[in-house]
Structure 1
Amino acid sequence: MYLDELVEFCLNLPDVEETQPFGPEHVVYKTKGKMFLLVGLEDSPIRFNVKCNPELAIQLREEFPLAVLPGFHMNKKHWNTIVVGPELSRKQIESFILHSYQLVHK
């Protein structure tokens, strides 16, 4: 998945806004005023943080140790950092984003 595809996927979800509260190097996607995804614009490979159910967060880190990490600069109980690469399919990446969105959009 490329950065432009990630952006498009986020912006196609209902009630999503794109903000840059941490400066021009990062983009935050919010719904209902709450953040569900943070992505660095200059990271290579692409890395982004998503919210996650705590039990699922641990399970995903164990299943994908190179691609799903504890949330960098975030509450590691509730956030994962996703490293885009060959270990994860596009469908898996989209499911992580959608899960995060659904946790926040309630």
Structure 2
Amino acid sequence: MNFATLRAYLAAKPGAVEDFPFDHVTLVFKVGEKMFALVATDVDPLRINLKCDPEKAEILRDCFPSVLPGYHMNKRHWNTVVLDGSIPDEDVLAMIDDSYGLVVQGLPKARRPV
């Protein structure tokens, strides 16, 4: 998956906002002011941090060598996914959907996207 495809998919999520709050290379996607994806734009292959249910996070790490504990994140709740082509795009998109869903679910109803 290339950067343009990844960015377009993330930006298409309802209520998604992109920002560079930490530095000029870490692209952050938020919904309701909460992060659901962080993309390291200065590395090859690309890496993306995604929120994940703790039990599922462990399963994904066991299934895919390119799914690692979340870099600079709570390693129980976040995974870093190395986009080196070893994970089918459909699975990466499903991980993004799960991350987005977990964040939206945790938002107060008034801050959830319509």
**Aligned length in residues:** 105
Q: List gaps (5 residues or longer) in structure 1.
A: none
Q: Which residue in 1 is equivalent to 2:88?
A: 89
Q: Which residue in 2 is equivalent to 1:9?
A: 9
- Structure-1 separation of matches of 2:83 and 2:2: 8
Q: Which residue in 2 is equivalent to 1:20?
A: 20
* Per-residue deviation, residues 10-51 of structure 1 (Å, max 9, x unmatched): 011100000111111111000011000001111100101000
Pairwise mapping of residues 30-69 of structure 1 onto structure 2 (< 5 A)?
30-65=30-65, 67-69=66-68
TM-score by length of 2: 0.90
- Structure-1 separation of matches of 2:32 and 2:76: 22
Q: Greater Rg, structure 1 or structure 2?
A: 2
Report the more deviating stretch, 84-93 or 95-104: 84-93
Q: Specify the code of the residue in structure 2 equivalent to 1:23.
A: D
- Structure-1 separation of matches of 2:82 and 2:52: 15
Identity among equivalent pairs (%) = 41
- Structure-1 separation of matches of 2:99 and 2:85: 21
- Structure-2 separation of matches of 1:43 and 1:96: 20
- Structure-2 separation of matches of 1:22 and 1:40: 11
CA-CA distance at 1:77 after TM superposition:
0.1
* Per-residue deviation, residues 31-82 of structure 1 (Å, max 9, x unmatched): 01100000111110010100000000000000112x1000011100000000
TM-score by length of 1: 0.96
Q: Which residue in 1 is equivalent to 2:109?
A: none
Q: Which runs of at least 4 in structure 1 moved beyond 6 Å after TM superposition?
A: none
Q: List gaps (5 residues or longer) in structure 2.
A: 106-114
